[in-house]
Amino acid sequence: MARDSVSNGTLNFEGIVQVDGRYSGEVTGPQTLIVSETGVLIAKITVAHLVCKGIVRGNVVATNKAEIHASGSVIGDIKTPALCIEEGARFRGKCHMTMNPAKSALTEKKKRKFFLAV
């Protein structure tokens, strides 16, 4: 989305999407969402990987990882297995650390092996 663009609605994407302008609504995708330094995203977000260098307002579910860079600001709750907040970044909300699905499957497999061995 271009720097001077203003949009709203529901955005479902594949691949990597970068928001340079202003968008409000809902954003869903199975890969990476980048909010650049000029980007403003006011939305409910569900992605695999969030990279925030601009402004995000709304709740975020990042199934793999969420990053807030020094220039970034997130106001809202984040649910993710991995959260990286650089020095200088702003985050106001709650963080719920979930287990990565791949690690969860491995942990469950280990539990079963242990249980069977006893």
Distance set, CA 50 to CA 59, 79, 114 (Å): 12, 11, 36
Task: Report the distance separating Cα 114 and Cα 35, nearest Å.
Answer: 43
110: pLDDT strictly greater than 60:
no
Long-range contacts of 98-103 (CB under 8 A, 24+ apart): 100/63, 100/64, 101/63
> Residue ranges per domain, the chain?
6-117
pTM: 0.82
- Per-residue pLDDT band for 109 (boundaries 50, 70, 90) equals low
Strand (E) positions, the chain?
Answer: 6-12, 17-19, 22-28, 32-35, 40-52, 55-57, 60-68, 73-75, 78-80, 83-85, 90-92, 95-97
Task: Report the distance separating Cα 85 and Cα 95, nearest Å.
Answer: 12
- Per-residue pLDDT band for 4 (boundaries 50, 70, 90) equals confident
What tens digit of pLDDT does each residue of 61-78 get?
999 999 999 999 999 999
What tens digit of pLDDT does each residue of 32-64 get?
999 999 999 999 999 999 999 999 999 999 999
Residue 98: CB atoms within 10 Å: 14
- The two structure tokens encoding residue 94: 């709650």
Q: For position 101, what pLDDT does the model report?
A: 60
Average predicted confidence (pLDDT) for the chain: 88
Q: For position 102, what pLDDT does the model report?
A: 56
Task: Report the distance separating Cα 23 and Cα 51, nearest Å.
Answer: 15
